[in-house]
Amino acid sequence: MAHNCLQCIKYLMFVFNLLFWLGGCGILGVGIWLAVTQGNFATLSSSFPSLSAANLLIVTGTFIMIIGFVGCIGAIKENKCLLLSFFIMLLIIFLLELTVVILFFVYTDKIDKYAQRDLKKGLHLYGTDGNIGLTNAWSIIQTDFRCCGVSNYTDWFEVYNTTRVPDSCCLEFSENCGLHSPGTWWKAPCYETVKVWLQENLLAVGIFGLCTAMVQILGLTFAMTMYCQVVKADTYCA
């Protein structure tokens, strides 16, 4: 009976981690595709220029693949060391995610202030050599969200040292339309506009986060259950 239970858990965990590994492959593939096809689209942050969507997906996909691989091998080989390693790695990631979420809600106001200050600092890199990624990112954000500047279109006045904005701020795009009067520009602040959009989609974000947490808890449960079963089986055989 114990042997049958171990075999059942073994194959369930193997399938679980195989799907986990395939998911990591998919995320890594999307990250590489973004890096190749959208390589000029980078982060808006001047402090963290490497924190682009492509890089985040590549790192996340790689970690998921490694963890899934360790879990697959540990399950199929019934290896206690690999099973425990899988459990520890997944637990560390879960605790880190939980810590980040808690800190985010505790320090929301401070994060808001720092983010706006950093974004405004990044505006000064717009259109400069070596910052085509940041330039394209701001152009896309302002065009898609119909906004201008971080907190106001006047943020761009400090960048250009004159009364003008990028052409992506214009209600109707045309060459050098950013030199026209403020009546032809978007008035909404980009930071608040994007923040409101995220709040409106908070349910989807929450569901995704909950599903991610459930998958991780399921993985932890499988790993620890199988580890205990393997230990019991070894003790029984001894």
Q: What is the DSSP letter of 125?
A: T
Sign of CA dihedral 57, 62, 66, 72: positive
User: Residue 236 has what pLDDT?
Assistant: 60
User: Residue 47 has what pLDDT?
Assistant: 65
The pLDDT tens digits along the chain (238 residues) read 556 666 777 888 888 888 888 888 988 888 888 777 765 556 666 666 666 777 888 888 899 899 989 988 988 888 889 999 999 999 999 999 899 989 988 998 898 899 899 999 889 989 888 777 788 889 989 999 999 999 999 999 999 988 899 999 999 888 889 888 888 999 999 999 999 998 888 888 888 888 888 888 888 888 888 888 888 776 665 5
Beta carbons of 9 and 226 less than 8 angstroms apart: yes
User: Residue 50 has what pLDDT?
Assistant: 67
Question: CA torsion angle for 128, 130, 136, 138 (degrees, to 10)?
Answer: -60
152-to-65, 100, 127, 166, 186 alpha-carbon distances in Å? 43, 29, 19, 13, 9
Beta carbons of 184 and 171 less than 8 angstroms apart: yes
Q: How far apart are CA 212 and CA 73, in angstroms?
A: 22
User: Residue 205 has what pLDDT?
Assistant: 81
Phi, psi of 188 (to 5 degrees): -65, 135
